[in-house]
């Protein structure tokens, strides 16, 4: 009997609740007016509580997700910094090279050679990196590091840099980081990467002190060149650190698919400027000379101007030359971050083109030896990604930390 009464009571209460809910949804004003004064107070309290929950819970989840920490990659590394990447290109990027700078002067945290540096993606997977040599290199307040990010959404992404392991051995690799790379640290030119091209009366290409040295014969019409075995089409950026023995002339770089010719006439006599047909040449004639700039090298014949500029640069000191060619045919040239020439030409957009580094000499002694510290090629984006570093974190971390799994935080305990 008691069980039957209990079931009847539940059934009645459920019925009353459903009727009340129906009128609350269909006629909220009538429902509210039908309540007693006490009922109205409780209804308002309930509504306010519901609103607080509906607002607070999503905000809390958003804040927690934003500030969640990825699991510590390896507890043998004492420190790390989060690196937030902004992708301004408007497109998702794959295997894209991104650079950041970090202060590596504190030898109580960093090895003197930066051999303990590691870079991971936001899941804790190691990704390739390379510390840019001599620009300024390890042990400086603005050490520049390049890394290859496997996937960078248009909304941006996050990676981590780890350091603070005095027993770690070097793991950086320019070969794995870039689409093309050479630091010329070997005893000779790598024939798997380069063909040595000597024109005119002669010359040599060698390595010395971690640099390639291009030496045309002095006081003669000649050129010494390095032409890549690898080919490139477009959407590529080349960066190289180069100088001449003295502040001189005939410092060139070309990208083309045709034969090697003298640049001015497309022939085989005026070798102080040397480039390849069916492509483009970044051409430095002399300080302040109006002929300096970017040219198209046609299928046959001499250079055709894309953009010229009478800029001056001191070639006797190492500078970073940056040459880019986009999928729309945009061509640019900057030196130490200063734009010197730019234009557009899509004549040879889809051709498989080789790069060539050139140094020329003239019979009156103009021209000189050229040294190339390193060169690399990375992918192009209309707006290059930018990075910002968060505050330093110290490992192995707290007893509990967040492990990111496709954007969701799972509490994990370190034991």
- The CATH number of residue 151's host domain is 2.60.40
Domain count, the chain: 3
Same domain, 206 and 339: yes
> Quick check: is 100 in a domain?
yes
Q: How far apart are CA 285 and CA 214, in angstroms?
A: 17
> Residue 337 above 80 pLDDT?
yes
Determine the structural domain holding residue 122 and report its residue range: 79-164+390-406
Residues 236-286: tens digit of each pLDDT: 999 999 999 999 999 999 999 999 999 999 999 999 999 999 999 999 999
With respect to residue 172, please indicate whether it lies within any of the assigned structural domains. no
CA atoms of 282 and 340, how far apart (whole Å): 10
Q: Is the pTM of this model over 0.85?
A: no
Confidence at 223, pLDDT banded by 50, 70, 90: very high
Q: Are 60 and 126 members of one domain?
A: no
> For the chain, how far is it from start to end, CA to CA, in angstroms?
57
Contact in structure between 310 and 330 (CB atoms under 8 Å): no
Residue range 199-217, pLDDT digits in tens: 999 999 999 999 999 999 9
| 100 shares a domain with 26 | no
Establish if 385 belongs to a structural domain.
no
Interatomic CA distance for residues 138 and 109, integer angstroms: 13
Asked whether residue 382 is assigned to any structural domain, the reply reads no
Q: 230 phi and psi, to 5 degrees?
A: -70, 155
Q: Tell me the C-alpha to C-alpha distance, in Å, between residue 225 and each of 152, 248, 328.
A: 37, 17, 28
Q: Residue 267 forms beta bridges with which residues?
A: none
Q: What is the pLDDT of residue 401?
A: 41
């Amino acid at each position: 009997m008691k069980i039957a009464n209990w079931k009847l009571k539940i059934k009645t209460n459920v019925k009353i609740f459903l009727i009340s809910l129906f009128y609350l949804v269909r006629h909220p004003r009538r429902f509210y007016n039908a309540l007693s004064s006490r009922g109205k107070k409780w209804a308002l309290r309930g509504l306010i509580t519901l609103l607080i929950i509906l607002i607070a819970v999503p905000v809390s989840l958003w804040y927690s997700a934003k500030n969640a920490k990825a699991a510590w990659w390896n507890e043998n590394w004492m420190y790390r910094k989060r690196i937030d990447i902004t992708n301004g290109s408007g497109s998702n990027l794959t295997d894209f090279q991104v650079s950041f700078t970090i202060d590596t002067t504190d030898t109580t945290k960093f090895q003197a050679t930066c051999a303990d540096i590691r870079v991971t993606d936001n899941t804790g997977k190691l990704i390739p990196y390379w510390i840019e040599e001599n620009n300024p290199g390890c042990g400086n307040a603005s050490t520049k590091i390049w890394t290859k990010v496997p996937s960078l959404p248009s909304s941006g992404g996050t990676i981590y840099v780890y350091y603070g392991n005095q027993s770690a051995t070097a793991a950086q690799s320019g070969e794995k980081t870039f689409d093309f790379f050479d630091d010329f640290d070997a005893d000779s030119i790598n024939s798997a990467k380069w063909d040595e091209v000597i024109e005119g009366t002669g010359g040599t290409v060698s390595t010395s002190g971690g640099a390639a040295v291009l030496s045309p014969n002095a006081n003669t019409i000649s050129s010494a060149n390095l032409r890549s075995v690898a080919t490139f089409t477009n959407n590529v950026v080349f960066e190289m650190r180069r100088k001449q023995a003295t502040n001189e002339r005939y410092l060139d770089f070309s990208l083309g698919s045709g034969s090697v010719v003298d640049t001015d006439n497309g022939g085989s006599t005026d070798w102080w400027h040397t480039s390849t047909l069916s492509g483009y040449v970044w051409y430095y004639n002399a300080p302040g000379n109006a002929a300096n700039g970017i040219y198209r090298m046609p299928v046959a014949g001499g250079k055709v101007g894309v953009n010229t500029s009478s800029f001056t640069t001191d070639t006797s000191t190492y500078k970073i030359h940056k040459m880019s060619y986009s999928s729309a045919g945009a061509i640019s040239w900057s030196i130490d971050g200063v734009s010197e020439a730019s234009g557009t030409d899509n004549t040879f957009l889809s051709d498989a083109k080789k790069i060539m580094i050139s140094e020329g000499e003239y019979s009156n002694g103009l021209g000189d030896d050229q040294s190339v510290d390193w060169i690399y090629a990375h992918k192009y984006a209309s707006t290059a990604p930018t990075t910002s570093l968060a505050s330093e974190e110290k490992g192995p971390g707290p007893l509990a930390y967040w492990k990111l799994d496709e954007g969701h935080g799972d509490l994990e305990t370190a034991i």
